[in-house]
Amino acid sequence: MSIRLLDVLKHSTLTPADPVIRASAAIAAETQLRWIHSSEVLDIAPLLGGGELLLTGGQALASATDKRRIGYIWELAERGVAALAIETGAALPSIPSSMVSAAQAAGLPLVELRKQVPFVGVMEAINSLLVSESAGQLQQADQTSHAMAVELAHGSSLDRVLAVLADATGSEVVLTSTAGVTLASALPAGHSEEAQAGQSQNDAPAGAGQDHVRDIHVDVAVRGIPSARLTLFVRGEADVNLARIAGSRSVDILALALLQRMPPGLKEMAGAALIRAVDSGTQNWRLQQLAPAAGIAVYAQLVAVVVRSAGSRQIRTNVEHLLDRVGQHSVSYADNAELLALVALHPDNVQEDRNAIVAGLQSIAAAEGIVSAVGPVASGISTAPWSLTEARLTLELAADGGPGRARPGQSGAALDAEAFAVERLAFHSLGEGLRTDFVRQQLGAVLDYDAQRRSLLVETLRVWLDSGCNTAQAARELHLERQSMHQRLQRIFSLCGGDPRGTGRLAALHLATRLVRLPGPVTSGLNQGAQQATSATLPVRG
């Protein structure tokens, strides 16, 4: 008998905490637990295995930004954590509504513990029960993997091997390649009429009730290279923990089956290995060794692409089709909610290819809500890690309020690292103190005016300078009448020493407006009210 969340909330060690479910209550009754863990660390998700009830005292959440709190919820949900319980009190009087909304959207049961209880006592009591249960699940999982090995030894198809796992766990089982192609699938005995149910129910909103399908993902590596993904769609009363354990125990059998029947293409394997090497900062000789095997010339002109999305397999397919269509050759690798790619550009059309990639990603972003960034052109595989680093930095700069550009988290966005060249240079080369001093020297009076009046003169100046001092264009982008735009400019000129056009001050002012919103103390001259007004009033620009 599986131990469920509601059972634990009614346990004598936890009832003194006066628990109440704040989000995803509809699926709490069927949420099964594998373990109970406690931590105040916000970056805990990668260290969890899925199926845990995570207890936290809320101290770290109390001092975290709202963006980090929401990210914490999504990271736990994507890791397969069963539920999150937050203790409220002096440090965190209540659970922020943004976290409640995120947990509801992610399908993560969120519990408020309104009184203090010793977490150690709770974990000792409940985990002892879970250990007893897991012993039986481990035995069943080992029997299942043995039966799968027998089927494989007798030459059965991949579908038949997966059918053993499906019958044992009561789950629909699908094995896909890293490119998203279905290699094999199976339904548990007696469920043939539901052949399409798993995927459709899995796409249903969180909290769909008794028919809610929970999916478990297990990566399958062949010779150390991720080559396939096993997904178990667990329905209704089926044991989620058994499915998780049995799926993990079947990895070696499935890897052997892939080697015997359909070994991954060498280029696909080399491409995944190449991107992982670029991402991890592997030595140059290793990159030069892997690139030709992946179909990329050592001295090719290439760009790195980073796509962040918790979306469907179809998004990856759309992105890969775009990169293959535009570039000379591309390789990609998906890691959790991040897709990394390297694209070799045609030597005679380097800039045109790169522009087409940015434009194509913008179309996908608008349709799918993804966030992506295209790095600068790298001359040869040796500098590919630099292009990847700059693409990621561009995403971070935009997320921290980059100057007027589309922000991840607000809507789909495809960002061009070249459009952030000034910010990237300043981030790498200028310390926070130097940036702060420079901005204050150039824009001090305007910053003070904005802080006192809650006005938007600094942002107005930046948009005007970005437009090439084109007053009409800047007015359109800011949704202002031309007369209002002229009035703002006159006020700005009076504060910063006159009209900068035709003087050597123009470049310095432009640089200052670009640096003013980089992360760090540069923004100390802007009060929070003015910054919030800027974010709420100005249109998002791609």
Judge whether 148 and 250 are in contact, CB under 8 Å.
yes
Judge whether 328 and 299 are in contact, CB under 8 Å.
no
pLDDT of residue 124: 86
What type of residue is 24?
Answer: S
* 155 in the same domain as 224: yes
* 189 in the same domain as 301: no
Q: Quick check: is 499 in a domain?
A: yes
Residue 130: pLDDT over 50: yes
Rounded to the nearest angstrom, the gap between the alpha carbon of residue 274 and the centroid of all alpha carbons in its chain is 21
Question: Which residues fall within 8 angstroms of residue 364, CB to CB, at 6 or more apart?
Answer: 315, 318, 319, 322, 370, 372, 412, 414
Question: Which residues fall within 8 angstroms of residue 6, CB to CB, at 6 or more apart?
Answer: 28, 29, 31
Q: What percent of the chain has pLDDT over 70?
A: 85
In whole angstroms, how far apart are CA 141 and each of 136, 145, 173, 239, 324?
9, 6, 15, 12, 41
Q: What is the pLDDT of residues 403-442, one digit of tens each?
A: 444 443 445 688 999 988 888 888 888 888 888 888 888 8
Nearest-angstrom CA–CA distance, 488 and 334: 47
Residue 10: pLDDT over 50: yes
* 422 in the same domain as 275: yes
Residue scoring higher pLDDT (369 or 492): 492
Q: Quick check: is 126 in a domain?
A: no
Triad 136, 194, 241: Cα angle to 5°: 20
Number of domains composing the chain: 4
From 313-317, 449-453, 498-502, the region with the lowest mean pLDDT: 313-317
Q: What band does 265 get if pLDDT is binned at 50, 70 and 90?
A: low
**By CB neighbour count within 10 A (0-12 exposed, 13-18 middle, 19+ buried), where does 258 fall?**
buried
User: In the listed set 58, 86, 117, which residue is the last one of a domain according to the structure?
Assistant: 117
Q: What is the pLDDT of residues 288-347, one digit of tens each?
A: 888 888 889 999 999 999 998 765 556 777 888 899 889 888 888 887 678 899 999 999
Q: Quick check: is 130 in a domain?
A: no
Rounded to the nearest angstrom, the gap between the alpha carbon of residue 324 and the centroid of all alpha carbons in its chain is 23
pLDDT of residue 202: 42
Q: Quick check: is 129 in a domain?
A: no
Nearest-angstrom CA–CA distance, 208 and 190: 23
pLDDT of residue 131: 76
Rounded to the nearest angstrom, the gap between the alpha carbon of residue 459 and the centroid of all alpha carbons in its chain is 29
Q: Which of 433, 409, 438 has the alpha carbon at shortest distance from 511?
A: 438
Show the domain range for 405: 266-426
From 51-65, 256-270, 526-540, the region with the lowest mean pLDDT: 526-540
Judge whether 17 and 114 are in contact, CB under 8 Å.
yes
pLDDT of residue 536: 33
* 359 in the same domain as 398: yes
Q: Quick check: is 33 in a domain?
A: yes
* Strand ranges (E), 381-525: 413-416
Nearest-angstrom CA–CA distance, 344 and 30: 48
Pairing state between β 371-374 and 413-416:
parallel
pLDDT of residue 532: 39
Residue 367: pLDDT over 90: no
pTM as predicted: 0.47
- As a whole number, the mean pLDDT across the chain is 81
Helices 421-429 and 505-515, packing angle to 10 deg: 80
Q: Quick check: is 314 in a domain?
A: yes
* 458 in the same domain as 360: no
User: In the listed set 214, 230, 261, which residue is the last one of a domain according to the structure?
Assistant: 261
Q: What is the pLDDT of residues 14-73, one digit of tens each?
A: 899 999 999 988 887 778 788 888 998 888 888 887 888 999 988 889 988 999 999 999
Q: What band does 192 get if pLDDT is binned at 50, 70 and 90?
A: low
Average pLDDT over residues 516-533: 48
Question: Which residues fall within 8 angstroms of residue 424, CB to CB, at 6 or more apart?
Answer: 390, 393, 394, 397, 417
